[in-house]
Structure 1
């Protein structure tokens, strides 16, 4: 090319390159202003008072002093299909992260092919081969590497690693939910046994009333009405016993399922011997530390982190991809010349792809990533609010049950004394059967109230331990402060 023409072509070429780049797909105007909430921005000082309690340990169920409960939880953690599903999801996330990591590394491959073909006589093939059948042998060793100038593959790897951490935290949440469900079902089994004791006592009391009624009828002190009433009341009490025995059977089956076993496993569970831990104190610095103590909050945070990197991947798609490739090998017709130096072949060079017009596909993809980011942030904020509310609710329930237990216990003691007096007077002929029945009804109800409140308090203790994370602590290798994650996602959203 003449020198003068070359001088004129260069600025024209530069102008064309700038024009092409200016017309390329871009992500102008696509962004998000969503931000992760901080624990301190929610009002919790009254509902979550500052106390000097401790966070629950991983063996929090031991506080109830029942060795069987501890053994059941260990069995469930070993054999539960629910946990197996969670572990499988973690394994899938790990495998995906390994694939993402492979995309950041050079790829090397080798191959061989043999082809039997008739060569055409109508092209550039020389007469010696044209129109003949030949066997072509090819062997090659090739390598390729994407320069990843814009960090697309690196961000994809970071997203995959964040997904692994999220899956691990979600598996811990499944574990915590399972252990909590076992403890609460076990406590329910204990409640049903306690109510069964009360119901059986009622059967004994009403059997005694029937015996006295029969004697009084014989002596002419009572009529057939009192006798039949005593019989009906005894039958009703026996119905209550049968109903409770059925509920105990059903709860045993539920426990067998939670253990990852068949229903017969539940039948082998002995009667619970749960104790009660009286003092309840919240741990210090609760709102701030809860974000690393609850696996569901940790998982939600890692999901935000993953979508942040996904946004960067989607943005990198707008820039050119540059791939380097090289290959060496042998290519020859027939076997005789295949391994000769003359059959050597080699190639090397870059490949560049630049999106110019894609009908808006890349912008739509980026909008989708931002939508996922907005959802992840909203899910994190909602999870944090629900966690704080959960802790406050369980604490309030425990305090309320404690207050109720004081009066309920006093009422039950008075009702039991009244029943004993009424029964003694009825046996001595000093009062009617109606008085005894009224006293029995009151005593039965008060005993049931006390029993239910005690079991409800223990159930709330279990729920509080769960609400505080059940002993979970984010490991040092995966821990990140909320501020760091928030800064990362805000920077990505602003770009």
Structure 2
């Protein structure tokens, strides 16, 4: 009868004694990837794009530059940031294993020796004089504890930690993409500035001849002092530009050394000047449907969203009773010689139920906090999706326009070269003078300088588009599957 009453009382406590779970749920939803069909189709109508697939994992090989490939491989293996991110991933995976251990019983072993000296007036010896003054108690135990995960609190906590570990891995892949694209950008920036320096030095030769010619013309009363000063000023300006170009090259080298994880003096000289590569860009037609699985930064966001959802579930489980089981089995004796006898065995089993009856609002506040964090993660993911789509669209447009600009610059350079040939022929036939020929040659170099700038911008747009398309990252494992 007493057991029946105890069971009924326990059932009533379990049914009504727990704190009530709030019913308000998060209302925000994850945004689908916006459509990019118009941007893609418009770009494919241009001659600089063709229908293809997403970039490969070693996307830098498309530039066919061994120097670039060597620098990127060095950066991926030696850059401290990559090593730091790798350590962070390992830490997150270890944290997930810690959470997973809570799903299993904990078993421990202990061996104790308790020695006591009892005085003659001690409570036990005063009434029982036969009790010896020196007492030793030997104890060997195996104990275990286990929390029954009826409400999936521990499972949700483990899944949340596992989601964080997978988000960290996606962020590591994103760090690889950022680092490799940064090395490529800095490398081609270095190449562009080296080419600019060559053009500036050639222009200095021409301006030096112009200055010398102007001096001769002034001495022969063909030009005035103002014209000579203008020519000299142009020579000063080109010398200043050369110094600035050299400074910029050295600073770019330092940046490249930093990216590849080397000191400033460890830079390997570029073996040869490489012209900016010119190629048509492969553009996938299914960007919207596959962008999520191709962008490591988006996958990191969505793994964190999944982790936040599991943490909300774990917070809800806190409102329900927690059922634990504690057990112990071992040997206990005051005589070491009798410790391993069957009569020295001891055991205990202790089930326990913990009910959150009154927590001063702690559980409700904790649930609201987890729901707010979950909402924040969804909003962050939605913002990242919009930014990712905008980034793809921006880089497609930039690559398209810079390709058209480059075509215009190439036509202008071709016209300037043709004009230089005509002027050289006129000078040879004494129709034009040397001053006009030198000015025409200088105009060609200035236009070559402008073309180098546009070439670099086109390569930069191509690299940024590769980065926007995920840089070869691909995963088939999706959250919430």
Return the TM-score normalized by structure 2.
0.89
1:247-396 alignment runs, 5 A limit: 247-396=248-397
Unaligned runs of 5+ residues in structure 1 are 486-495
Question: Following TM superposition, by how much is the alpha carbon of 1:328 offset from its aligned partner in structure 2, in angstroms?
Answer: 1.2
1:156 and 2:157 matched: yes
**Aligned match of 1:54:** 53
Distance of 1:132 and 1:326 partners within structure 2: 33
1:25 and 2:23 matched: no
Distance of 1:36 and 1:246 partners within structure 2: 48
Per-residue CA deviations over 1:26-59 (Å, capped at 9, x if unaligned) read 22224211211111xx343322338522110112
* Alignment check: 8 A CA contact 2:118 2:125 kept: no
Distance of 2:25 and 2:85 partners within structure 1: 34
**Aligned match of 2:94:** 95
Q: Which moved more, 1:337-346 or 1:385-394?
A: 337-346
3-state DSSP class of the match of 1:49?
Answer: helix
Question: Following TM superposition, by how much is the alpha carbon of 1:226 offset from its aligned partner in structure 2, in angstroms?
Answer: 3.0
1:140-289 alignment runs, 5 A limit: 140-289=141-290
Question: Following TM superposition, by how much is the alpha carbon of 1:63 offset from its aligned partner in structure 2, in angstroms?
Answer: 1.4
* Alignment check: 8 A CA contact 2:17 2:356 kept: no
Question: Following TM superposition, by how much is the alpha carbon of 1:332 offset from its aligned partner in structure 2, in angstroms?
Answer: 2.8
Distance of 2:242 and 2:281 partners within structure 1: 34
* Alignment check: 8 A CA contact 1:189 1:272 kept: no
1:76 and 2:75 matched: yes
Q: Which moved more, 1:224-233 or 1:85-94?
A: 224-233
Distance of 1:404 and 1:422 partners within structure 2: 27
Question: Following TM superposition, by how much is the alpha carbon of 1:327 offset from its aligned partner in structure 2, in angstroms?
Answer: 1.1
Question: Following TM superposition, by how much is the alpha carbon of 1:347 offset from its aligned partner in structure 2, in angstroms?
Answer: 0.6
Question: Following TM superposition, by how much is the alpha carbon of 1:204 offset from its aligned partner in structure 2, in angstroms?
Answer: 0.9
Q: 1:480 aligns with which of 469, 478, 481?
A: 478
The 1:246–1:237 alpha-carbon spacing in structure 2 relative to 1, beyond 3 Å, is same
**Aligned match of 1:488:** none
**Aligned match of 1:38:** 32
* Alignment check: 8 A CA contact 1:311 1:369 kept: yes
The 1:245–1:421 alpha-carbon spacing in structure 2 relative to 1, beyond 3 Å, is farther
The 1:302–1:131 alpha-carbon spacing in structure 2 relative to 1, beyond 3 Å, is same
3-state DSSP class of the match of 2:112?
Answer: strand
Distance of 1:330 and 1:19 partners within structure 2: 37
Distance of 1:285 and 1:444 partners within structure 2: 43
- Computed over aligned residues only, the root mean square deviation of the Cα atoms, in angstroms, reads 3.0
3-state DSSP class of the match of 1:291?
Answer: helix
Q: Which moved more, 1:236-245 or 1:263-272?
A: 263-272
Question: Following TM superposition, by how much is the alpha carbon of 1:407 offset from its aligned partner in structure 2, in angstroms?
Answer: 2.5
* Alignment check: 8 A CA contact 2:153 2:313 kept: yes
**Aligned match of 2:399:** 398
Distance of 2:65 and 2:183 partners within structure 1: 13
Distance of 1:126 and 1:382 partners within structure 2: 80
Distance of 2:458 and 2:58 partners within structure 1: 19
Per-residue CA deviations over 1:242-295 (Å, capped at 9, x if unaligned) read 110111111011000000111122253444425424312420211010100010
Distance of 1:13 and 1:80 partners within structure 2: 64
